[in-house]
Copies of this chain bind each other. A is one copy, B any other.
Amino acid sequence: MIGVDLGGTKLLAGVVDADLQVHARAHRAAPALSLQEVLDTVVSAIDEVRAAAPSEVVGVGLGIPCLIDRRRGVAMMSVHLPIAGVPFGDLVAERVGLPVAIDNDANAAMLAEWRFGAARGVRDAVLLTVGTGIGSGMVVEGNLARGSIGAGPELGHMVIDADGPECGGACPNRGCLEALVSGPALAREGRELARAHADSALGRALAAGREITGALVTELAHDGDAAAEEAVRRIGRWLGVGIANVVNIFNPEVVVVGGGVIGAGELLLGPAREVVAARALPPMRDAVQIVPSQFGAESGMLGAALLSAAETP
């Protein structure tokens, strides 16, 4: 089967077999200009990997960064792509002549991590992907759970600081986890610490006119720059407040953290674990593991392929 992870800025497609081996990959920038352009990009990536497949492809799974109304198969409220209100899976299916299963990209990632990865074999797990925003998936009592219209879970839009910063985009809320923990939030902390510590590597980067991005802060933190490390720690502590909530709410065995920001690794997860130890209820806190995703940037694509397998006869 073919899995496609359509992100806000890039796309990854792959031919994947039942053991989750990947036989071909295609990368694309995902232009956000028009529906037609997004559709062409998805179809061309599918065509490319399909041509390289070792055997006949029977279905496509598509993970998209959207709330989805599964009652109608329609994408809703996409922050990054012009596909809101569109039955995007049907349009792709028509073009490629294959059945297309569609789901939220983080639900797809949760599926891959649950069936084959960091949450393999458990009955209760939660996944958070921390990137431009926060995606989330949940396995509750052995079911990948999506809520009544299939639009959940949106743990990134759980308020943890009621008077905190506005969340922005399509979210009317403030102090959401996503407003405090994301690549842009890391960049914001990085800029603040760069200004406060002009003699740090981060400060020198700012003075030299470099753009302070989450990726740059992460890179400098890995290089041992104290200011950059502190920026990552701040984000990690907020992440810990969010994970403590997840632990108290779901009593999961595993919380999986993925997405671009997990590139910071233990610099991020260490402070998060400390906050969970300090704030979560003891019986739940002692029953949970907080781990990085096993499949990293490929979990969405792999999960999308599994989605296709589950829905293809």
A158 to B253, CA, bound (A): 18
- Pick the most buried of A146, A157, A241: most chain B CB atoms within 10 A of its CB: A157
Instruction: Say whether, besides A141-B143, A147-B124, A152-B248, A171 and B281 are in contact (CB < 8 Å).
Output: yes
A252–B147 touching, CB < 8 Å: yes
B-chain residues with CB within 8 Å of residue A18 when the two chains form the complex? none
Which one, A53-61, A93-101, A197-205, A282-290, is touching chain B?
Answer: A282-290
Partner of A160, one of B143, B160, B251: B160
Question: A208 an interface residue at 8 Å Cβ cutoff?
Answer: no
Tell me the smallest distance from the CB of A87 to a CB of chain B, in Å. Answer: 15
Q: CA A244 – CA B150 in complex, angstroms?
A: 17
Cβ A159 vs Cβ B157 within 8 A = no
In the complex, the answer to whether B284 meets A154 with C-beta atoms within 8 Å is yes
- Measured between beta carbons, the chain B residues less than 8 angstroms from A67 are 281, 283-284
Chain B neighbourhood of A174, CB < 8 A: 279
Instruction: Please determine whether A148 and B281 come into contact, CB atoms closer than 8 angstroms.
Output: no
C-alpha spacing A158/B251, complex, angstroms: 12
Q: How many whole Å from A301's CB to the nearest CB in chain B?
A: 25
Tell me if A211 counts as interface (CB < 8 A to partner B). Answer: no
How close is A73's CB to chain B, nearest CB, in angstroms? 14
Contact string against B for A residues 223-254, beta-carbon threshold 8 Å, 1 for contact and 0 otherwise: 00000000000000010010011001111110
CA distance A143 to B77 in the complex (A): 28
**Pairwise interchain contact B281-A170, C-beta atoms closer than 8 A:** yes
Q: Which of B122, B171, B245, B283 contacts A69 (CB 8 A)?
A: B283
A153 within 8 A of B: yes
Known interface pairs A77-B281, A147-B284; 16 further A-B residue pairs with C-beta atoms within 8 A, sorted by A's residue number: A67-B284, A124-B147, A141-B143, A147-B250, A147-B252, A148-B252, A148-B287, A154-B284, A157-B248, A158-B245, A158-B248, A159-B241, A159-B245, A172-B279, A173-B244, A249-B249
26 examples of A-B residue contacts, CB within 8 angstroms: A69-B283, A77-B281, A124-B148, A140-B141, A141-B141, A141-B145, A141-B146, A148-B251, A148-B253, A149-B283, A152-B250, A152-B284, A153-B248, A154-B249, A154-B281, A154-B284, A157-B281, A158-B245, A159-B245, A159-B279, A160-B162, A161-B161, A170-B281, A172-B282, A173-B244, A173-B280
